[in-house]
Chain A
Amino acid sequence: MSKRAQKYSAYTDTWQTLMDVIIRSASLDKNRKLPLVLTSLAELPEDNSDGPAISFIHGPPGRNIALAIGLRAALPDTPMLLIMNADAVTLGMNHLIHAARRNMGMTLLILRSEVTDAVTASPVQRTNWHSFGIQDCIEKRATPLELATSLEAASVSRGSIDNVDQLSQLVNDAMNTPGFSMIGVTSDKGLPLGVLSRTNLPEYFDSYNEWAEALRVSIAEKAAEAIEVVTEEEPAKSSRNIPRHEVRIAGIGGQGVKLAGSVLNIAAGTHEGLWTTQRGEYGSATRGGPSLVEVVAGSKRISYPRTDTPDVLVLLNQNAANQFADSVKPSGQTIVDADHVKKVPQGAIAVPIVRISVENTGKPIASGVVSLGCIAAVSDVVSLESLKKSVAQKLPAKLVVKNIAALVAGYEATCKVLKGEYNG
């Protein structure tokens, strides 16, 4: 038995050579941590506890590249050494392309088939990775080294399994190169050996850390700059006893219905101290499809978010009125847009909601917010004050004044309608 074979008796010939390369490359830079070795090679050693202190991951074929990305993120100081063969250019090809393209920090050794052929006998293992398979006579070769070069990998090189010294130096060099390095391992004497290409682009996680640090700084700066808004302590839980209260607003995309749902939800949940839910179905502003929001609020947790029988129903156009007018609770209140709903349902009140939006903001986009003013006028579940706070929270600063004006105008117009002082 050779000296090397005695050292790692559990290993096959290829692995004995590879273990020599791993140990020798590690010894070339003693300041560097030992690498983690990820491999899918079938001839993996069994118990290597007598061998060198290297940890192995025997991952699913091709997927070791993905595993190495997660490990690299978690263990930034530990070199990731991948030893793959055909799986790198078959199952692993997509991962290989993106890891090389993004310069993910790892060293990938691809063993050409003649290197593993020496120790394997079964027909499947004798297939060549430079094509994809058993019928390699009809396929063009896969060229991973050229591919990695074209993707501007940090370094691309070729070593020989018969030259452990040089191969160890190439592995050492690759592990000291930040980013994605690939080493083709051959025993073909006709191929050029050594470093084939090199770039000097930032490693992915180095870029990430720089970006993340800048993000943290900007968040901290924003927090420091933010003007402290003095607000009254909001009640976490309302002292009022409010039974399940359902609100539905139905209009079209571009009327700000979705936003109104969120504003009402925050007003009821945060400022009134009620339990709430909010859901919707939205059309886009450009297409103007039907848009609907449903808010349910009450003193008890809301188990179901849909409003099959609303207490307050706002209908912004005739289609919505046709669809939903009958759903309102007998004790409920329907509010329709005075200009866009021609047939006012029995018991409903008409308020020129869209017109008020245009008057206050120049656009119909605040119709949802105007509707909330109307809702505050017909029901005491959510106050106008709570809605104002919620508008200020939910809208960009430059839009707050106009939207609060629209909200208040909706409230006042509805009060007038209720008193019979206003008629469109």
Chain B
Amino acid sequence: MSKFEVMYGNQAIAEGAIKAGCRFYAGYPITPSTEVAEILSDRLPEEGGIFVQMEDEIASMGAIIGASLGGLKSATATSGPGFSLMQENLGYAVGSEIPCVVINVQRVGPSTGLPTKAAQGDIMQARWGTHGDHPIIALSPGSVQDCYDLIIKAFNFSEKYRTPVIFLADALVSSLEEKIELADETVEIFERREPEESPEDYKAFAYTKGGVVPLAKFGEGYRYHVTGLLHDEKGYPTEDSELVSQWWDHMYSKIEDNLDDILLYEEIELDDADIALIAYGGTAMAATRAVSLAREQGIKLGLLKLQTIWPFPEERVKKLAVDMDNIIVPELNFGQIRSEVERLAAGQSNIEGINKADGNQITPDEILTAIQKHLVAGS
């Protein structure tokens, strides 16, 4: 029996996190993510979990890494300025394969920027914010329902692939109130598994191709070494280039071999479309509306709504570029995803952006105006 509830975005993120099994939160409050912390400061103790307000976002990221090593599903929430501070320890979690979820409710940057205004300017920071090559998973919710459903996915991916997952919400969905359907007992929750090997044979950082070994609860029978240095399968530092290259292969293949599982997107009226939109996060709401309005006018507009931002759905976008003469990418930045689309389209399709970073949102009308000239040109 389905259950429905009216919630706002940050509330759905917090409740979804609880549903996913999050039992530790460390954070430093910042607009427009503060409600996630406020709600979890009540809900976590209620569920037997722990909420700690930290001195800053560097410490917040460090504490969730520690709690995750100790066996608790862990998360923090922030916005741009805090996300910048988290990059150092985020890299540590990537390299030492420690599951955790980092919620970034984006606002206009750089620096303090426009604290209350929605933006989608941290797309590339989510990909490359911490130094060095590294795989990462980032999801972006395009509705309050997505906030709830995708945060559960974020925890699942994080546990399944032993990686930080970045949850790129924005102020458009975080304060929006929506009636949503809550998960029932059939929803998939990926629980942390016990290692199959004996403590003597256990290799916490096994260079498994296309997967990971379960992370043993630290210090509970299983002994291993955790380090930010590149390490062998038991976790001890190594500079052996042969081992390092095996490590890279493991790190990238655990994501790239599982794209079918990780790449989440919705196709809205794309089948017979003459012109396509690619949108994500809060902007996908205006894009979806633009598709309905266009269809009412007899214009065959379709939408590829991205929910997984990183890894990028390269094959799907390449195919879309082959099928469409024109692709329009509305986003609240100056073209961070558009540049990815252009790279993949490789000249096969005309790619155009609708871009804003002034605190205003993109409207369905603006999208319809942008497609109008292609219809005239194409007719």
Contacts and interface: CB of A to CB of B under 8 A. Distances in A.
A75 B289 contact: no
Contacts of A74: 24, 66-72
A54 B226 CA distance: 12
28 contacts: A33-B219, A46-B236, A46-B237, A48-B236, A56-B225, A60-B62, A63-B62, A66-B54, A69-B62, A70-B24, A70-B66, A70-B68, A71-B69, A72-B66, A73-B50, A75-B218, A94-B55, A95-B59, A98-B54, A212-B45, A212-B48, A265-B179, A270-B4, A270-B6, A276-B6, A276-B178, A303-B285, A303-B289
A274 B178 CA distance: 11
A277 B70 contact: no
A219 interface: yes
A65 B179 CA distance: 42
Contact of A304 (B6, B67, B69, B289): B289
A275 B143 CA distance: 13
A236 interface: yes
A276 B67 contact: no
Of listed B24, B226, B363, B364, residue having the most chain A CB within 10 A: B226
Contacts of B236: 46-48
Band of interface residues on A: 35 or more
A73 B67 contact: yes
Contacts, number: 196
A215 B45 contact: yes
B45 A216 contact: yes
Interface residues of B, number: 64
A69 B52 contact: yes
4 closest A-B pairs by beta carbon, nearest first, are: A74-B70, A70-B66, A66-B62, A304-B289
A266 B179 CA distance: 8
B66 A67 contact: yes
A385 interface: no
A286 interface: no
Interface of B: 2, 4-6, 24, 26, 42, 45-46, 48, 50, 52, 54-56, 58-72, 74, 88-89, 92, 143-145, 175-179, 217-220, 223-229, 234, 236-237, 285-286, 288-289, 292, 363-365
Given A58-B226, A265-B177, A277-B179, 13 more contacts: A47-B236, A49-B234, A63-B59, A66-B63, A67-B66, A69-B52, A74-B69, A95-B59, A216-B46, A236-B2, A269-B6, A269-B179, A274-B179
Contact of A75 (B219, B223, B288): B219
A101 B344 CA distance: 53
A195 interface: no
A172 interface: no
Contacts of B5: 270
B59 A308 contact: no
Contact of B179 (A54, A95, A275, A304): A275
Contacts of B223: 49, 53-55
A48 B67 CA distance: 24
B285 A304 contact: yes
Interface of chain A: mostly helix, strand, loop or mixed: mixed
B176 A279 contact: yes
Contacts of B365: 308
Contacts of A70: 24, 26, 62-70, 72, 74
B225 A55 contact: yes
A219 B224 CA distance: 40
A56 to B, nearest CB: 5
A59 B98 CA distance: 12
Contacts of B6: 262, 265-266, 269-270, 276, 278
Interface in A25-81: 33-34, 36, 44, 46-49, 53-60, 63-75, 78
Contacts of A59: 62, 92, 226, 228
Nearest to A97: B55
A212 B52 CA distance: 12
Contacts of B220: 75
Contacts of A67: 62-63, 65-66, 69
A102 B70 CA distance: 21
A245 B175 CA distance: 21
B229 to A, nearest CB: 7
Contacts of B42: 215
A55 B292 contact: no
A305 interface: yes
Nearest to B71: A74
A304 B288 contact: yes
Contacts of A422: none
A64 B55 CA distance: 14
Contact of A58 (B4, B71, B229): B229
Given A69-B26, A269-B6, A262 B177 contact: yes
B30 to A, nearest CB: 17
A78 B364 contact: no
A305 B286 CA distance: 9
A304 B60 CA distance: 34
Contacts of A72: 66
A261 B176 CA distance: 11
Contacts of B59: 63, 65-66, 69, 94-95, 98
B50 A208 contact: yes
Nearest to B24: A73
Contacts of B225: 48, 55-58
A18 interface: no
A63 B234 contact: no
Contacts of A55: 218-219, 223-225
B88 A60 contact: yes
A344 B43 CA distance: 48
A59 B88 CA distance: 11
Interface in A256-278: 261-262, 265-266, 269-270, 274-278
Contact of B364 (A94, A279, A308): A308
Contacts of B67: 70-71, 73-74
B252 to A, nearest CB: 23
